[in-house]
Amino acid sequence: MTDTAQGVRGALRRELGGFLRAHRELLAPADVGLPRTPRRRTSGLRREEVAALSGVSVAWYTWLEQGRVDTSRQVLDAVARALRMDGAAREHALALAGFAPEGPGGPNGLGGPDASDALATPHAVAVNHQHLLDSWPTSPALLLGPALDLLAWNTAYATLWPDPAAVPADRRNLLLLLTGDPHHQRLLPAWQPLAMDLYRHFRTRADRAPLSARFGQLTARLRAERPDLEEWWDCRSVGEFAPRTMELAFSDGQLARYGVTLLLTPEPRGGAVLVQTPAH
């Protein structure tokens, strides 16, 4: 194994440990059928309780949370059940441990040990997808990078939303725009549910690319620009973006509803196409 691969493996173990610890701290003893004792100082489960529920030793589970050991799929499944993980969280834990289905770019196509920080050639990828975006003349559409950076858009998008071409290049990121741009928030008053689900989608990819500078830079910028959303940035919840309907409010008082779908692109460590379809 190369030094780079060893570094990625170690970083993924630490991400897995932090993910397990976050889930353990969210559970109350009553959630798993245990009594709350008077001497308990925290609301979360103790490590020894998770170890007992999972059928492993306390020392081994402690090492797992510390990112010091690898694990088998069978044992990780037992830990996930003990921590009452839902399907998305369980799949994420398995991916961090290296058990996700292998795609062309690593687990779930999100990149192997030698993956770079971004799409290999963002400009070329944008050009390749522009004809697809333009094929939707009435459906605003965006091509997004792995960290939800805006790589390309169609005329319908630039007409409905603030034109990305007029946005400074370093701010062309969907999370930055939804959480920090007044124009986006006026057009979409209920922006929080959409932004939070996109952040969960982002977290899924960030955890699986722990050495990526772009994910780290964006997380730091979100924390700096919106410290009031600290509970978002500290959240370890993950999940794939689910289609939904959103309502836009125009300056003339008119309202419009759009269905929103996120289509994953096939490139290794690729991003996604966000399509907004007028809803009647």
Higher pLDDT, 127 or 104: 127
Give how many domains the chain has, as a whole number. 2
Same domain, 65 and 136: no
Which of the residue ranges 16-25, 117-126, 212-221, 232-241 would you say has the lowest mean pLDDT?
Answer: 117-126
**What mean pLDDT do residues 161-168 have?**
95
Is 7 contained in some domain? yes
Same domain, 88 and 138: no
Label each residue of the chain as H, E or C.
CCHHHHHHHHHHHHHHHHHHHHHHHHCCHHHHCCCCCCCCCCCCCCHHHHHHHHCCCHHHHHHHHCCCCCCCHHHHHHHHHHCCCCHHHHHHHHHHCCCCCEECCEECCCCCCCCCCCCCCHHHHHHHHHHHHHCCCCCCEEEECCCCEEEEECHHHHHHCCCHHHCCHHHCEHHHHHHHCHHHHHHCCCHHHHHHHHHHHHHHHHHHCCCCHHHHHHHHHHHHHCHHHHHHHHCCCCCCCCCEEEEEECCCCCEEEEEEEEEECCCCCCCEEEEEEECC
Is 107 contained in some domain? no
Higher pLDDT, 208 or 80: 80
Same domain, 206 and 164: yes
Among 3-7, 43-47, 76-80, 209-213, name the most confident range: 76-80
Same domain, 207 and 135: yes
Q: Which of 34, 69, 100 is the last residue of a domain?
A: 100
pLDDT in tens, 243-271: 999 999 999 999 999 999 999 886 655 68
Would you say residue 228 has pLDDT above 90?
yes
Which of the residue ranges 65-69, 139-143, 165-169 would you say has the lowest mean pLDDT?
Answer: 65-69
Is 55 contained in some domain? yes
- What's the pLDDT at 235? 84
**Which residues constitute the domain of residue 246?**
122-278
Output the domain CATH number for residue 221.
3.30.450.180
Among 1-5, 95-99, 156-160, 233-237, name the most confident range: 156-160
Is 83 contained in some domain? yes
Same domain, 267 and 200: yes
Is 62 contained in some domain? yes
- What's the pLDDT at 166? 95
Would you say residue 155 has pLDDT above 60?
yes
Same domain, 77 and 178: no
pTM: 0.68
Same domain, 7 and 127: no
Is 111 contained in some domain? no
